[in-house]
Amino acid sequence: MIQRSQFFVAPARLVSRRGFVVRAAAAVAGLAMLGAAPLASAAETAYPSRPIRIVLGFSAGGGTDAIARTLAKHMSSTLGANVLIDNKPGANGNIAAEEVSRSPADGYTLLYNTSSIASSPALYNKRLSYDVSKDLIPVARTASLPIVLVVPAKSSLKSAAELVAYAKAHPGKLNYASAGNGNVTHLASLSFEDAVGIKGTHIPYKGEAPALADLMAGMVDYYFATSAGAIPAIKAGRLKALAVATKQPLDTLPGVPTLDATVAKGLDLSAWSGLMAPAGTPPEVIAKLNSAVAKALADPEVLVFFANQSAQATPSTPGEYGVFLTSEMGSLAKVIKGAGITLD
């Protein structure tokens, strides 16, 4: 390959013998520089040209983290650059969201968000230092983790209809667990109460593991668990599933009906997740990232992994994810405000 220094040396040796060579060399050099400018510019703007960091607002080792890392691995292959997960837990995912919202809009710092981003505006109204709708833009929806209504294995309740009937006959007697105030498992319970017209006593826990432990011990009456948390305990005979909160039955829980088909028509609850970027990220970068996510979600290896996690792939365009986010923020705000929940 000819180096630029070699290119300019030869004409310089001819300067003393032929004056016209100087002018010719200058013209050639100028054309070469003009031709090189677009190439240099293209190289500088090629995306991606360095590692991409996806910030996740929850600890490593959980179900969401495992899904995010699986997608990142397959996105790396498609994009030809390392895609890394950076865990920044705290404040129900808002520490991570705030960091990404303030990051350069160049496609190299992204947010792997959960459904908490749609509930946060209503829960932390006065404390949020970023605006979900203005400071972040959607890239793609990625996955949905179904919610399952479970009771202790020894519970006398055998169906969602029996639970509703008992709660109506004995107001306030049943209590339910959640993985924390404002968590999706809490909001799912509130949505269920609103849909069927009952009122239980809320018992919040610091995470799903202790909530499930007390449920299995019979210390609480029911819980809207994530499928990843509930299914192992159901298969081990320590919990009983009354219904799934998705509109379609789950293959992983054969014979378990949906709430939509039994006591709560139209109720569809899940712990979903997606990918977002700082506002102002170029459309062509968003399109490239969206395509990489879609390809990952269609990969057979990813689909097998999702099935084992009881997760569902939910590919979307950026626009579809934006519409979904707006809808979720509206419906969750209604539930939160109706229940008088605030974390301000």
Q: Tell me, what CATH number does 135's domain have?
A: 3.40.190.150
Do 138 and 155 fall within a single domain? no
End-to-end CA distance of the chain: give it in Å, rounded.
Answer: 63
Q: Which residue has the higher pLDDT, 288 or 235?
A: 288
Going by pLDDT thresholds of 50, 70 and 90, the confidence category of residue 132 is very high
Do 174 and 239 fall within a single domain? yes
Do 215 and 298 fall within a single domain? no
Do 58 and 128 fall within a single domain? yes
Do 227 and 312 fall within a single domain? no
Choosing from 259, 292, 315, the residue where a domain stops is 259
121, 333 in Cβ contact below 8 A? Answer: yes
Distances 150 to 7, 74, 125 between C-alpha atoms, Å: 75, 34, 31
Q: Provide the CATH number for the domain around residue 226.
A: 3.40.190.10
Mean pLDDT of 278-306: 97
Q: Is the pLDDT of residue 44 over 80?
A: no
Structure token pair of residue 316: 């979307």
Residue among 163, 208, 164, 168 nearest 185 (CA): 208
The answer as to whether 189 is a domain residue is yes
Mean pLDDT of 42-58: 83
Q: Is the pLDDT of residue 15 over 50?
A: no
Which helix (H) or strand (E) segment holds residue 218: the answer is none
180, 186 in Cβ contact below 8 A? Answer: yes
Do 156 and 255 fall within a single domain? yes
Per-residue model confidence (pLDDT) at position 236: 93
pTM for the full predicted model? 0.71
Choosing from 259, 283, 304, the residue where a domain stops is 259
Is 92 exposed, middle or buried, given 0-12, 13-18 or 19+ CB atoms closer than 10 A?
A: buried
Per-residue model confidence (pLDDT) at position 21: 39
Do 100 and 110 fall within a single domain? yes
286, 81 in Cβ contact below 8 A? Answer: no
- What residues have CB less than 8 Å from 141, skipping those under 6 apart? 272, 273, 274, 314, 315, 316, 320, 321, 324
Do 77 and 138 fall within a single domain? yes
Choosing from 259, 288, 322, the residue where a domain stops is 259
The answer as to whether 10 is a domain residue is no
CA angle 169, 333, 149 (to 5 degrees): 40
Per-residue model confidence (pLDDT) at position 3: 38
Do 317 and 211 fall within a single domain? no
Q: Is the pLDDT of residue 37 over 60?
A: no
Phi (first) and psi of residue 84, to 5 degrees: -115, 145
Do 156 and 245 fall within a single domain? yes
175, 202 in Cβ contact below 8 A? Answer: yes
CA angle 242, 114, 109 (to 5 degrees): 160
Do 104 and 118 fall within a single domain? yes
Q: Is the pLDDT of residue 16 over 80?
A: no
The answer as to whether 29 is a domain residue is no
C-alpha atoms less than 13 angstroms from C-alpha of 226 in its C-beta half-sphere: 23
Domain that holds residue 73: 50-143+270-337
Question: For residue range 140-152, what is the model confidence (pLDDT) as tens digits?
Answer: 999 988 999 999 9
The answer as to whether 12 is a domain residue is no
The answer as to whether 39 is a domain residue is no
Is 150 exposed, middle or buried, given 0-12, 13-18 or 19+ CB atoms closer than 10 A?
A: buried
In angstroms, rounded to a whole number, what is the distance separating the alpha carbons of residues 102 and 112?
15
Q: Which residue has the higher pLDDT, 127 or 162?
A: 162
Do 60 and 94 fall within a single domain? yes
Per-residue model confidence (pLDDT) at position 344: 64
- What residues have CB less than 8 Å from 132, skipping those under 6 apart? 97, 117, 118, 120, 121, 325, 329
Sign of the Cα torsion 284, 100, 276, 344 reads: negative
- Total domains, the chain: 2
3-class state of residue 339 by DSSP: helix
Q: Which residue has the higher pLDDT, 237 or 30?
A: 237
The answer as to whether 99 is a domain residue is yes
Per-residue model confidence (pLDDT) at position 193: 94
The answer as to whether 40 is a domain residue is no
The answer as to whether 14 is a domain residue is no
Pairing state of beta strands 312-313 and 136-152? Answer: antiparallel
Going by pLDDT thresholds of 50, 70 and 90, the confidence category of residue 197 is very high
Phi (first) and psi of residue 90, to 5 degrees: 135, 145
In angstroms, rounded to a whole number, what is the distance separating the alpha carbons of residues 179 and 50?
38
Mean residue pLDDT of the chain comes to 85
- Give the dihedral of Cα atoms 180, 259, 219, 123; nearest 10 deg: 20
